Structures are given as structure tokens and as C-alpha cells.
Amino acid sequence: MKKLFTFNKKKETVEESSAKRSIMLRWAFANTVFCFITFTLFATLTYQLTISSFIKEEQQLLTRSMDSVEEVLEKADAPLNSSNLNTYIEATSKIQNGESEGMSLGSIIGTRKAFYIYDLNHKLLYSTNRHTFGFQNQANNEMKEIRGENPGYLVQRKIISKSTGQVVGYLQAFYDTTTYHRISNLLLIVLLILEIVALIVAQLIGYFMANYFMKPLEKLYQGMQEMANDPTNDFEPIEIQSGDEIEELAHVYNDMMLKMKAYLEQQNRFVSDVSHELRTPLAVLDGHINLLNRWGKNDPEVLDESLQASLDEVDRMKKMLEEMLALARLENVDLSSEELDCDVGKVCNRALKNFQLLHDDFEIVLDNRLIYPTHARISENHFEQGLRILLDNAAKYSPDDRKEIVITVSEDEQFVITSVSDKGIGISEEDINHLFERFFRADKARNREIGGTGLGLSILARLAENYQGEIEVNSELGLGSTFTLKFPKIK
């Protein structure tokens, strides 16, 4: 049976869309559509209200004119005819014209209105206009719309004599809306032109406003694009001061990138440290194994010595890897966690007892100056880890004739203060400046004899940095050292 396995997985990338639409253009288009709908509704409402108000006003004027004419004609006590009509027409002209005399009814009412008077047989007796519509079979005072070449509104009513109460004739009035249609068409054209102008202005304003508001987002995009094109570049936070959600987005992005860069640096530093620091113990192991392989396995003394040295190097590598992992984990401390509450006095008592079990030849004293139980904003495990590092260092660098350690716990307004003092060999001023560097160890001549990896104080420095604390070192060669830890107090 033959089977072929192929492994040609391609690196996944995010493909850019071939069809890109600018948010700026979409924003401007949306603004234009909104303005178009708004202005159209406004123009339509304005047009309808203007036209309807105009028509209603003219209809009311026409009705009032008919009332004036009817007021005179209803004085007739006999049916209207061509003989008696002139008397009432002259009186009607005087009423319509006020104090003016000698004017016809047609010249008084104007060209847009026309009056027609019919007798009881529906025969036209009088007209103020050449164009007539004939007698209409419509309800009394019904406003009838006339379409065609002479558009307008036609009203017809009965003339009832005040003296007899009988119908003496019919009055018909017409209002010509030709001028109205011309004005309405002109108004419509003006509104359409204004709408087109408003759309162009809205498009331009929308584009420039979108361009103005999109500048911060464009700046954010360019910064992201630069990092995407070359992630190895040094990250520079994107400064945006727009006072809105885009500024908040930039803050989130900057925070994310800084954390990502820190994680990458941590990873690279871890790999670099491991490859560097494992080189020596691996070389020692390789030398002993080659020695045993060549001839040392036949010599019991050389065999024991090589095996013991190899075991020591394996233990040293194991401890170093554990401390390096602990240092790497300290990069990800969440300062907002509710678990960051440490009873310093209690932890110091526990650490003292554990230390005495391992170093019963040391005289260790706890000087607790806290009046009440005081808590620091740090994980109990991490505080105990830092205290244990200082105690281990004090034990390592204390001569056999000065095995004395003092732990002092106090507080001020801001910090809980823990000091570890010894009477060891002390640290030179030159070495103090490098104490918290990775793998640095003072008194290099005694490194093999004392043991350790040189990572303890680096871990302590990282603890102080992560928990916003401080470390103070006082030391004199040949007299001893005092390391002071300060962590924020929970009030």
C-alpha cells in the first residue's frame, strides 16, 4: 500500500476587497439623500400650502362678491328680465365700487372674475365676460372646477326675492385660474431649481464634512497599514484628539499594540536568554559525556565526578528555566484583579517559619511595626515570592560567622514597607547599578560556590514594576545589605 502525504499549506493572509467604496463618499451620498428627501417634503408641503391658501382666499373673495351682487338683485319683487335688470346692475356697480360712479360691473370685478345672470327660463340676461358656460345643473353655491382652455371655478346660486320669497333668477360667478396655474407652475420651477441647488450644496457640504470627520480615522488606518506592512517596525502610538469614539478607538489600538509589542519582546527575550544561558551547562554536559565515552567510564573516580557534575548542571538548568518562566508570567499581571490583596504581616510570618525550617542555623528576627493588619495591593503568592528571593540571597551571601537576618515591616501614607537586612559580604557601588539585570551576579569569584541563576533580583524588579512598587538598596562591602520593598497600600 502506497500513500502520499503533501504538506503545502499556504500562509493565510487577509485579501483586500477589489471593490472599495469610500466611507467619505457614502457619507456624502447619504447626506445628499437625506437632504433630498427633507427638501422634497418641505418643498411639497410649501407648494401645497401656498396653492391651497391662494385658492381658498380667491374662492372666499368670489363668494363675497356674489353676496354683494345678490344683496341688490334680491330686492326685485318680480322675476328678472331684460327690462328691469339694468336698475339692479347699476346699483350693484355702486356697491362694488364704493363711492365711484359710471363704471360697469365688469370693469369693477376685474378680468379674473366674471358674473352671469339668468332668468327663470335659464336664459342669459347679463354677462361681464364674452365667454359663457351656460346654465349649470348644480347645487346651490356648489364650487365646480372647470378644466380645459379656460380653467377656473364656477359657482351658481338662486336669487330669492326678499319681498315675495320667490326665485326671481339665477346668479352665476366664474373665477379664472389661468393666472393661478401660471404662478403655480412658476413656483414649482423655482422650487425644483432650489432643490437642485440645495442638493449640490448638500453634496459639497457633506463631502467636506465627511472629509473633516474622517481625517482621524484615515490617520488611524494609515498607522495600522504601516504596522501591517512591516510588523517589525518600532510602534509609535497614534495621537488622535477628536474627542469622540475615534479617539477612544485609537486609545484601544495603541494599548493593544503596546501589549502585543511587549509580548513579542518578552518572547524574543525569553528565547534569547534561554539559548544564551543554556549554552554553558550544555557544553559542560557535553564535555563530561564525551569524557565518559572516551575513557572515564572505566575510572570509578572520574565516573562519579562526571555524573555528579552533570546532575548539578541539570538541576541548575531546571531551576533557571523555572525562574525564567516565572519572570515571563509576571509580564501579564492584571492590576484590576480583586485578588490583589495581601496581608503583609501574615505572609511575613509564614515566610519566616518556612525559612527557619530550611536554615535552622540562621538567626532571623521579624520586626513588625504595623499597629493594625495592613494590606498591600499585590498577590500574596507574588509578595511571598519576592520576600523569599531576598531571604535566599541573604542566606547565600552571609558568612558562616554572621548568619543574622532581620525582616522589618512598616508603613507610610502610600506604601507598605518590607525590609530584609543581613550582615553578609555586601555589594560594591559598581555592582549595585547592575543588580536587577538578568543573569547578573555580584562576587563572580564565588558564583559556582554559591549557586543560583542570577534571575532572582530580575524577578523582584519585575514584581515592583508590575505592581507599581519601589525597591531600595543600601549596602556596604564587608558589612551587609538591606533591601527594602514598597508596595501600594490598600486604604
pLDDT digits (tens, 9 = 90+) for 238-248: 888 878 888 88
3-state secondary structure of 133: coil
Region 204-228: mean pLDDT is 81
Dihedral sign from CA coordinates of 50, 51, 56, 62: positive
Superfamily of domain 337-488: Histidine kinase-like ATPase, C-terminal domain (3.30.565.10)
Alpha helices in 230-278 (DSSP H): 245-277
Q: How far is residue 375's CA from residue 378's CA, in Å, rounded to a whole number?
A: 9
Half-sphere exposure of 17 (CA within 13 A, CB side): 4
CATH of 278-331, one of 1.10.287.130, 1.10.10.10, 3.20.19.10, 3.40.50.2300: 1.10.287.130
Q: How far is residue 471's CA from residue 463's CA, in Å, rounded to a whole number?
A: 10
Q: State which amino acid sits at residue 233.
A: N
Residue 152 has pLDDT above 80, yes or no: yes
pLDDT value, residue 416: 93
Residue 286 has pLDDT above 60, yes or no: yes
- Pairing type for strands 480-488 and 167-176 reads unpaired
What digits encode the pLDDT tens for the residues 46-71?
A: 888 888 888 888 888 888 888 888 88
Which of residues 288 and 445 earns the better pLDDT score?
A: 288
Range among 106-115, 288-297, 448-457 with highest mean pLDDT value = 288-297
Q: State which amino acid sits at residue 196.
A: I
pLDDT value, residue 323: 66
Which one-letter DSSP state was computed for residue 332? G
Which one-letter DSSP state was computed for residue 103? -
Domain map of the chain by residue range? 24-183, 278-331, 337-488
The CATH number of 24-183 is: 3.30.450.20
pLDDT value, residue 176: 86
Q: What is the pTM of this model?
A: 0.46
CB 150 within 8 A of CB 131: yes
Which of residues 91 and 420 earns the better pLDDT score?
A: 420
Considering the chain, what is the average pLDDT of its residues? 79
pLDDT value, residue 8: 53
3-state secondary structure of 485: strand
With cut-offs at 50, 70 and 90, classify the pLDDT of residue 385: confident
What digits encode the pLDDT tens for the residues 22-55?
A: 666 777 777 778 888 888 888 888 888 888 888 8
Q: Which residues contact 31 (CB under 8 A, 6 or more apart)?
A: 202, 203, 205, 206, 209, 210
Report helix, strand and coil shares of the chain as percent, to nearest 5: 55, 15, 30
Residue 77 has pLDDT above 50, yes or no: yes
Q: How far is residue 167's CA from residue 66's CA, in Å, rounded to a whole number?
A: 16
Q: Any idea which of 145-154, 221-230, 280-289 has the lowest mean pLDDT? A: 280-289
